[in-house]
A and B are shown apart, each in its own frame.
Chain A
Amino acid sequence: MAKNGKPRVLLVKHWIDIHDRGLRLIASRCKDAGFEVVYASYSQPEEVVKMAVQEDVDVIGMSFFTSAYEAHLPKVMDGLKENKMEGVIVVLGGVIPDEDHDMLKAKGVKEIYGAGSDVNQFIEMIKREVGK
């Protein structure tokens, strides 16, 4: 958490994963909630880890329009572990079929906020979990 006590949230999307309406909405809601937000694109999953380290974030939100999380998520989780950042909360959003949720949670994803989710639940989760 930032020295000023504000949760720090990194929101990312692969630069070719163009449907960003949801992620941008979340960015502005996080800002309204008083969080510090970094909104970024990446071209390789390793960059997500690098940004998380540099920005010392509490939460990473990754958005996917396709099942690219199958390839990207393990790399992000491994990278966090290597950097001793296992405490960072990782959540996913976008078009993520229900049948993948258990698999993703087993890999360490805290929550999945896909199509039809309530943005406020995401905000509440951060307030509840960060700095616990």
Chain B
Amino acid sequence: MFDENTLEAARKHQEQWDQALARYEGRDFSSKTNSGIPIKPVYTPLDVQDIDYENDIGMVGAFPYMRSNYPIHYQFQPWVNQPVHGYGLPEDTRERMDALTKAGMEAYFGARAYNLVWDYPGYFGIDPDDPEAEGYIGKDGVSCNTDEDFARMLDGIDLAKNNIVLINGDTLPMFAIYIAYAESRGVPRSDLRGNTMNWVFTAWYAPNFMWETEDALKLATDNIHFCVNQIPRWNHTNIQGHAISETGADAIHQMSFCLATAIAVADSCKAAGLDPNAFMTGMGFQIAQCNDFFEYICMFRAWRKLWATIVRERYGCTRPAAMHLRTHTNTSCFELIKQQPLNNVIRSAYHALGAALSGTTAMQIPAYDEPIGIPTEESAILTLRTQQMLVHETGVTRVSDPLAGSYYVEWLTHRMEEEAKKVLKEIEDAGGFVKAHKEGMLARVLRKGCDQWREEIETGKRIVVGWNKYATEETLKVKAFRPDPEVARVSVERIKDYKARRDQAKTEAALNGVVAACERLKKGEWGHVMPACIEAAKAKATAGEISKALRKVMRWGPEYNVMLKY
């Protein structure tokens, strides 16, 4: 990257610096990043001399897109504000949506992205009137299970303009009900914009359940098949890096496990006959920005480059939009702690600053009170204000990829790239991602990461302010936010009433259609499951009922009542 004169000067300066260290009497000032990469106290042109500007770094908005997807980024439009929200009944969630809108939540071109999270029953395809739902209805997300619930939450909102993000685990049934609702309002599915998680395949390593791996991949692929053919603008898949991070992955493993997941999904789509240039544009990554400030920025830059390279070389894509790493930052949650909770506001602001300097395209910041409960309206709006202050007060949006060219940042970015390639190769050598997962390779890495993190805190090797250092008697009492206890009763009543009012024979016939479509999927016939789910939704089947129909054919597992003995 430098001419010989510069390198000669750098070598001379390095010698002088080495001599200057004498005054510290041989102490070792090296350290390690949170992923364990050894770090020196200073970097110079000598550390980046083998990095080639043209091929390794390049320009913003051009392949390999390491520096930014776009020629002009935040200067044209800042990242999308995408705070997660959802609790209680659909109308309670609507209140929060309106409060955030009033507080200035913005997406691209004057629209909004409503990042809606479901309660656990809705997440896993359990209706509120199922005994398994007891205790969980509307608690940590919205209880929304039918087209009528969607109407309570979304009526009056322009579905062709705003992004509706459906955060739940069992993707297809809720998505089908949303489409049925939209079409009942006269909005054709091809006009819809928003995101499904499509975690049917990717969420297994975070929680301890999910679809059996191969069937999960089939369902995820079939959802993509449907979107590519019928809702081309829909963001069909969210590769869940945040959950991987929260369950114990460091920056290197977050990036490489996500890339490996995305490769598995893309391979499956290609095998199903889909055109990578078409389906890649709906693939997104949810990325955790954590405590090691520079490491996570460098991870992000390396990630953009690796993905663009994989998409171009492995899948032969030519469209820039297919090569772009679409990112939704969800700043770290596991690093927010209960002790001295207001400190979390500051921690998250640092994470958010890191994400902004990384050039993320959307952002959600957890609220400071989340170790205590789900956010209050006040704490939720504070997370939005944190983003707004970054955009409007700090000046970080003036220049794209402002840290480029830093000897340290370029060196570490390159190093992150090399480390991720090593993990990707390990996974490839183990027979690919599906096999590596089934054999527990990834789960082992995550468990080790969790245990190590805790041990480092307990031994004082890792300092957490207010926990293992500067701890105080707690004086600030933060009261937990609680949805109205009536929510569960109302939700159960509503769904019973909904089921009582419909044409039962018609619903059952449509649910049988879902079972038949799954059987076709098992035989390798793509593209029938989502249309059948939409038909079922239009015949007034609930989310829980559609999920149950899927589970008659597609294997659900591992068994949730599994017992492990240590």
A residues touching B (Cβ–Cβ < 8 Å)? Answer: 14-21, 24-25, 27-28, 30-31, 36-44, 47, 51, 65-72, 95, 97-99, 114-116, 119-120
Contact = CB atoms under 8 A, between A and B. Distances in A.
Residue among B131, B467, B561, B562 with most chain A CB within 10 A? B561
A66 B371 contact: no
18 contacts: A14-B136, A15-B124, A15-B561, A16-B120, A16-B121, A18-B206, A20-B208, A21-B247, A25-B451, A28-B447, A36-B566, A37-B565, A39-B566, A65-B140, A66-B120, A66-B140, A95-B371, A97-B480
Nearest to B210: A18
Given A21-B246, A30-B566, A115 B123 contact: no
A100 B322 CA distance: 50
B463 interface: no
A67 B563 CA distance: 24
A95 B561 contact: no
Given A51-B563, A99-B480, A21 B126 contact: no
B126 A24 contact: no
Interface of B: 120-121, 123-124, 126, 131-132, 134-136, 139-140, 206-209, 246-248, 334, 337-339, 371-373, 447, 450-451, 454, 458, 467, 477, 479-480, 482, 560-566
Contacts of A16: 120-121, 123-124, 126, 132, 136
A9 to B, nearest CB: 9
Nearest to A75: B134
Contacts of B135: 14, 66-72
A109 B132 CA distance: 23
Nearest to A40: B563
Contacts of B123: 16, 18
A16 B561 CA distance: 11
Contacts of A19: 207
B139 A21 contact: no
B450 to A, nearest CB: 6
Nearest to A54: B563
Nearest to A18: B207
B467 to A, nearest CB: 7
Contacts of A14: 120, 135-136
B566 A43 contact: no
A68 B136 contact: yes
B248 A21 contact: yes
